[in-house]
Amino acid sequence: MSSALVLGSTGLCGSAILKYAQASDSFSKVTTVTRRKVDGVDAGVEQIVEPDSANWSKTLPESQVVFSGIGTTRAAAGSFAEQYKIDHDLNLELAKAAKANGATTYVLVSSTGASASSFLPYLRMKGELDDAVKDLDFEKTIILRPGPLLGDRTKEFKGQGEGTLRAIGTWLHRSAFQRLLSYPIYGDEVGKAAVKLATTLGPGYHIIDAKDLLAASDP
C-alpha cells in the first residue's frame, strides 16, 4: 500500500478527498497539511498544522500519492492577483515539492473549461497550472475538471452568485439537462472520484472532464 497526502483538506473538495482517502484500503497512511486542525477525521490521519502556507512546501512528508484541492475565490483573496498566488503559485510550489519528495501520483482539482489560452482570467489561470503540473512529469498525473461545485461551503467562503448557481445546479444535477450547466457536481462526488481514479488509472497524463468525473463518482 502507498501513503497519501491531501492538500486543501479544509475546502469543499479537499475535505471530501480526505474523507474517502482515510476510508480507502489502498493507503497505509494519510497525512494533511493545513493552517488549522481539521475536526472529525480519523485518529490515524496525521495532521501537520502550519498557519503560514508559505512554509508548507518545507513541511511536506514523503507520500506516493498527493491530492490537491487547494483553491480560493477572488472575493476571498481580495483580488485576482492574490487569488493567483494561491490557486496557481502555491499549488505549483507544492507540486514541485511533492515531486522532489518522491511522489509518483498527483491528483489536482482544476475546473471545467480550464485552458492556458482562455480569455477568461480564472480559466486561463487554471489552464496554466494544469500545464505546469503536466510538465513536472509525475508517473501518473490526474487533472480533474469538475463542473459547478455543489455542497455546503465553510463560513469563510465568499463567491459571487454562489447561492443562485448552487440552486440552479442542484436542480439540474444528474438530470437530463445537466449538460446545460456543464454537469454540476457535489464536492463529495469529486472526492469519491478522485480517490477512485488515483487507485485505478494507469500511468500517464489524464484529464477527466466534467461528464466523466461525474460518472467516476458512481458506485
pTM: 0.92
Interatomic CA distance for residues 15 and 25, integer angstroms: 18
pLDDT 10s digits, 117-171: 999 999 999 999 999 999 999 999 999 999 999 988 654 444 444 666 677 778 7
pLDDT 10s digits, 186-216: 999 999 999 999 999 999 999 999 999 999 9
Is 43 a residue whose pLDDT tops 90? no
∠ CA 14-73-174, rounded to 5°: 60
Average pLDDT over residues 18-24: 95
The answer to whether 86 touches 35, Cβ cutoff 8 Å, is no
Task: Tell me the sheet residues that pair with 108.
Answer: 68, 143
Interatomic CA distance for residues 190 and 149, integer angstroms: 9
160, 176, 118, 105: CA torsion to nearest 10: 90
Higher pLDDT, 4 or 162: 4
Q: Can you give the pLDDT at residue 167?
A: 76
Is 42 a residue whose pLDDT tops 70? yes
Q: Can you give the pLDDT at residue 160?
A: 46
| Residue percentage of the chain with pLDDT more than 70 | 94
Q: Can you give the pLDDT at residue 206?
A: 98
Domains of the chain, start order: 2-216 (3.40.50.720)
- Residue 77's CB is within 10 A of a number of other CB atoms, namely 16
Alpha carbon distances (Å) from 173 to 87, 130, 141: 26, 26, 27
